[in-house]
């Protein structure tokens, strides 16, 4: 079985159902994802002092757990940085339960990162304090213990959040994939602020994208940052433009996948005029519980399909199937005992 190597930002997620007053207190917007500033630091103790849920998170780690949910045990390796504390132990335990292998760099000076998840009705606001997650080093990736594992992987998946942490590690994975025709590099935009404020390191990865995943808000933010002929364009046109960017390994056509919540997923393939749409899996309203992490779950199912060599259509269907399972759980989680994918 081919394996997948995911690189990202491991976080513990204190989650709480809140009213607008808490969002207002910390100047947070509904359906937004930001990095914490000094004014947000009391938020975590505030959430932890209330009735809350602690869930293993970090977008790429969610995706890694999602892919592992479908793939045979220990098919997926996840790499990131944590502190030496109880929250890191919780992350390891959750990943072990999922059958996911993790190889964390442990930072002795910073605590494990946190992402406060504030849920208000069907909206959620994410506020991330990276802490140890911000201390990942290229030396860990290239170490004698880790690099041989990386070389064995056939698919590399990188969350855009890691562009705020260690771009050299991302570029090392990108170059490794480009050097081997059988290795695939997948990038996720992750949040609107990535193309807005980390455009340069994101642009440096673009020639290596075999697959690019994002949602409509992230794609629009990317287009706005790109400017030029993309001004005022729609999602289909933006996806097609992304797919047509210069590519390092021309033998593999780039595929851009843009999700749009309950609207159809847009897919553009390099060199193909038609931009396709794929409807989401319908779900009864009473079964919908929490959409937090739905995009990560979609990416996990999609990546599992890529690892298994499935068609583009089936890989997208696998992503939608896993996202549907996830939104019936609290946070970025999946039901146990495991369910088995079947094509819709």
CB 183 within 8 A of CB 32: no
Tell me, yes or no, if 296 is annotated catalytic: yes
Q: How far apart are CA 122 and CA 126, in angstroms?
A: 13
HEC profile for 176-224?
Answer: HHHCCCCCEEEEECCCCHHHHHCHHHHHHHHHHCCEEEEEHHHHHHHHH
First to last CA, the chain: 24
Q: How far apart are CA 55 and CA 228, in angstroms?
A: 41
**Encoding tokens for residue 57?**
């998170």
Q: How far apart are CA 43 and CA 175, in angstroms?
A: 39
Beta-carbon contacts of 314 under 8 Å, excluding residues fewer than 6 positions away, are 305, 343
User: Would you give the DSSP letter of residue 174?
Assistant: H
SS3 323: helix
**Encoding tokens for residue 310?**
């499935």
296-171-128 Cα angle (round to 5): 40
The H or E element containing residue 46 is helix 42-48
**Encoding tokens for residue 285?**
């309203």
Instruction: Give 56: exposed, middle or buried? Use CB within 10 Å, 0-12, 13-18, 19+.
Output: buried
Question: Helix axis angle, 235-243 relative to 216-226, nearest 10°?
Answer: 70
CB 299 within 8 A of CB 260: no
From 7, 290, 296, 317, the catalytic residue? 296
Strands 4-7 and 101-107: unpaired
SS3 275: coil
The residues carrying an active-site annotation are 296
């Amino acid at each position: 079985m081919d394996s997948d190597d995911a690189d990202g930002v491991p976080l513990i997620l204190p989650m709480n159902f809140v009213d607008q007053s808490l969002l207002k207190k910390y100047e947070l917007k509904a359906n937004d994802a930001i990095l914490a500033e000094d004014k947000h630091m009391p938020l975590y103790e505030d959430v932890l002092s209330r009735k809350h849920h602690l869930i293993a998170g970090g977008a790429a780690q969610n995706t890694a757990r999602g892919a592992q949910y479908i793939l045979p045990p220990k098919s997926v390796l996840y790499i990131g940085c944590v502190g030496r504390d109880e929250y890191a132990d919780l992350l390891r335990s959750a990943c072990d339960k999922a059958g996911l292998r993790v190889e964390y760099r442990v930072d002795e000076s910073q605590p494990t990162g946190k992402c406060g998840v504030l849920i208000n009705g069907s909206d959620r606001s994410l506020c991330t304090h990276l802490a140890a997650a911000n201390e990942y080093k290229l030396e860990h990736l290239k170490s004698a213990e880790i690099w041989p594992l990386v070389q064995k992987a056939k698919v590399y998946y990188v969350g855009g959040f890691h562009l705020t942490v260690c771009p050299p590690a991302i570029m090392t994975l990108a170059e490794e994939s480009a050097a081997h025709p059988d290795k695939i590099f997948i990038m996720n935009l992750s949040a609107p602020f990535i193309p807005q404020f980390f455009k340069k390191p994101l642009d440096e990865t673009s020639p290596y994208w075999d697959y690019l995943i994002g949602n409509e808000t992230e794609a629009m933010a990317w287009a706005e940052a790109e400017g030029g002929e993309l001004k005022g364009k729609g999602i289909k046109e933006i996806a097609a433009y992304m797919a047509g960017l210069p590519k390092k390994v021309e033998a593999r056509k780039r595929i851009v996948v843009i999700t749009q919540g309950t609207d159809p997923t847009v897919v553009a393939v390099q060199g193909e005029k038609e931009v396709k749409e794929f409807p989401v899996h319908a779900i009864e309203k009473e079964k919908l519980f929490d959409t937090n992490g739905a995009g990560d779950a979609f990416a996990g199912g999609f990546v599992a399909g890529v690892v298994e060599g499935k068609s583009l259509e089936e890989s997208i269907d696998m992503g939608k199937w896993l996202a549907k399972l996830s939104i019936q759980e609290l946070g970025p989680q999946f039901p146990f005992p495991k369910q088995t994918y079947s094509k819709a």
